Structure 1
Amino acid sequence: IVFANSHEIKSLYQTSSFDEALAQIRKDCRIAAVTRSEKGSVIVRGDETVVIKATAIKELVDTTGAGDLYAAGFLHG
């Protein structure tokens, strides 16, 4: 399982296209969960794709640890 954000996978695959990076990570990993900030997240596993919309909030206070919490929740189920 790979957890990353959209900027990290684009950097990893040296592309500016999120879709290209997602296609590549799909080939390289059994499961990838990619966060996209206010766009939510995308989980890919083989040919399956699950898009999770972000929940709207009134005010953003701090994003410290957000990715870690996402990964913990994903792994916990």
Structure 2
Amino acid sequence: MIAILVHGRLVEGTARLDFLWQLQASQEKKEMDVLQESNKRILHNLLPAHVAAHFLDAQFRNNMVRSRILPYPLTY
């Protein structure tokens, strides 16, 4: 009987922590989205539109990540 009560408290504590972490994650995601939009506005204000679009392009970002990981260019 005591084991069931202890287990119930542990499950409740875990559920509460999970809820708080989920709430924190959603708040951080909202903050991240606001910061990302702010960065895009700054980039568009500093650079011409076609250059800013190039830097915001997903293909360009993927190439930048690969170039940081690999010490040599990837060729097929």
Shorter-chain TM-score category? under 0.3
Instruction: Name the larger-Rg structure.
Output: 2
More strand by share: 1
More helix by share: 2
TM-score (structure 2 length as normaliser): 0.25
